[in-house]
Amino acid sequence: MKQLGILIFDEVEVLDFAGPFEVFSVANQLADYKILQVHTLSLDALEIRAKNGLHLLADYRLDQVDQLNYLVLPGGDGSKMVIQNQPGMALLQTQIQQASWSMSVCSGSRILGKAGFLEHKPYCTHHEVFDSMQEIVPTGIPQPSLRFIQSDDRIWTAAGISAGIDLALHLTELTFGKELALATATYMEYLPYLDQHAR
């Protein structure tokens, strides 16, 4: 069974992590819980206060887990603090290097940029974060008109907030097949993905 980790941290944007969490958890549910173990991960304390006060409890600290197959890096104002956490960034860098794929949502792109994974590569992020990204990774190639993009063979980046659902469904399709992705989107009643495949 593959291991998927979703990073959460203080001031994480709720839909940034909850959207992909729903996609991958529903996909696993529809596959009789046989394809994935989905974990929420923190860098330090397990108790997290997300954006606008939602309290969360991470499953594990990042230093408590072995190699992940897939990694989701959400954004939010707290991403500014994540990239200043040197021990945490070192752990994330190792996991990203080893994972089959990693995806960022919104300003989670800061983490990939700070860790050196977006040099001279295209990326998406929240429309208000492109200026910040230019400072973090000046050689990166911003893609403000796209919902998500493949930055290299193992790195994907999504635009703001709800775009994480689009990318999570796309990666479900690439990783586990179109049939499961369509079933997941149908269960979630997520029309953007369903309309795209109805053409």
Q: CA 189 from chain center: how many Å?
A: 21
Whether 28 and 67 have beta carbons less than 8 Å apart is answered as no
Residue 178 in domain: yes
pTM above 0.85, yes or no: yes
Whether 132 and 112 have beta carbons less than 8 Å apart is answered as no
Domain extent, residue 47, equals 2-103+161-193
* Token pair of 116 as six digits: 């050196």
Residue 146 in domain: no
Residue 122 in domain: no
Tens of pLDDT, residue by residue over 117-149, are: 999 999 999 999 999 999 999 999 999 999 999
Q: Could you tell me the CATH number of the domain that includes residue 14?
A: 3.40.50.880
Tens of pLDDT, residue by residue over 51-87, are: 999 999 999 999 999 999 999 999 999 999 999 999 9
Residue 198 in domain: no
Residue 11 in domain: yes
The total of structural domains in the chain comes to 1
Residue 96 in domain: yes
Residue 181 in domain: yes
Cβ-Cβ contacts under 8 Å for 196 (sequence gap 6 or more): none
Write out the DSSP string of 53-104: G-EEE-SEEGGG----SEEEE--STTHHHHTT-HHHHHHHHHHHHHSSEEEE
Q: Which residue in the block uniquely carries the two structure tokens 């479900």?
A: 172
